[in-house]
């Protein structure tokens, strides 16, 4: 419970920072590329962003991601991950953008693993205060294929 409280406070704190017109909170769901290892994943995230130039933004990425495992070794359990990283977003058309998130995923000492890296390139469409996106999530952990294709939605908070 202490870990969740710390993660929640970090997520709440990120609401207070970032560029008003690009910082967002959202959710995603993913379908695995290897469905013998996992069934699906889902998560929530906060993405504070700061303007670098007229069309590009740099920011942070904080999220909670759950991977539902399917293998007999894992017992069909959920694998909760706390994602910490950085983001870069570039608008190449007026409302269409490409974004790359990357960083580390942390599970804790009792978990399936403790730390792994992740990369998450996406392409999205922004309208009003909403972003919709599709992307690929690569999780760098030993030889396990926990990669997925994902779709999601995020809302700009201001």
Q: What percent of the chain has pLDDT over 90?
A: 30
> What is the total count of domains within the chain?
1
Secondary structure letter of residue 147 according to DSSP: -
Question: In this model, does residue 88 exceed pLDDT 90?
Answer: yes
Domain that holds residue 13: 2-156
Please report the pLDDT score of residue 15 as a whole number. 53
Whether residue 38 contacts residue 12, with contact meaning beta carbons closer than 8 Å, is answered with: no
Alpha-carbon distance 39 to 58, whole Å?
Answer: 32
Please tell me the pTM assigned to this model: 0.80
User: Confidence band (pLDDT; 50, 70, 90) for 109?
Assistant: low
Alpha-carbon distance 116 to 69, whole Å?
Answer: 16
Secondary structure letter of residue 13 according to DSSP: H
Rounded to whole angstroms, what are the CA distances from 10 to 53, 83, 91, 119?
A: 27, 11, 28, 21
Q: What is the DSSP string of 75-93?
A: TT-EEEEEEEEEEEEEESS
Q: CATH number of the domain at 140, please.
A: 2.40.160.20
* Between 99 and 6, residue with greater pLDDT: 99
Q: What is the pLDDT of residues 32-70, one digit of tens each?
A: 888 777 788 899 999 888 889 889 999 989 898 888 877
């Amino acid at each position: 419970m202490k870990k969740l409280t710390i993660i929640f406070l970090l997520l709440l704190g990120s609401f207070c920072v970032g560029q008003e017109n690009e910082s967002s909170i959202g959710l995603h769901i993913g379908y695995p590329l290897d469905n013998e290892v996992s069934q699906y994943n889902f998560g929530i995230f906060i993405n504070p962003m700061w303007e670098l130039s007229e069309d590009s933004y740099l920011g942070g990425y904080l999220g909670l991601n759950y991977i539902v495992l399917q293998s007999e070794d894992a017992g069909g359990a959920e694998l909760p991950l706390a994602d910490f990283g950085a983001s870069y977003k570039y608008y190449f058309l007026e409302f269409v953008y490409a974004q790359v998130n990357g960083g580390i995923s942390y599970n804790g000492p009792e978990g399936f693993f403790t730390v792994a890296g992740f990369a998450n390139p996406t392409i999205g469409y922004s309208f009003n205060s909403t972003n919709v996106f599709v992307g690929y999530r690569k999780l760098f952990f030993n030889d396990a294929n926990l990669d997925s294709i994902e779709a999601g939605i995020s809302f700009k908070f201001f």
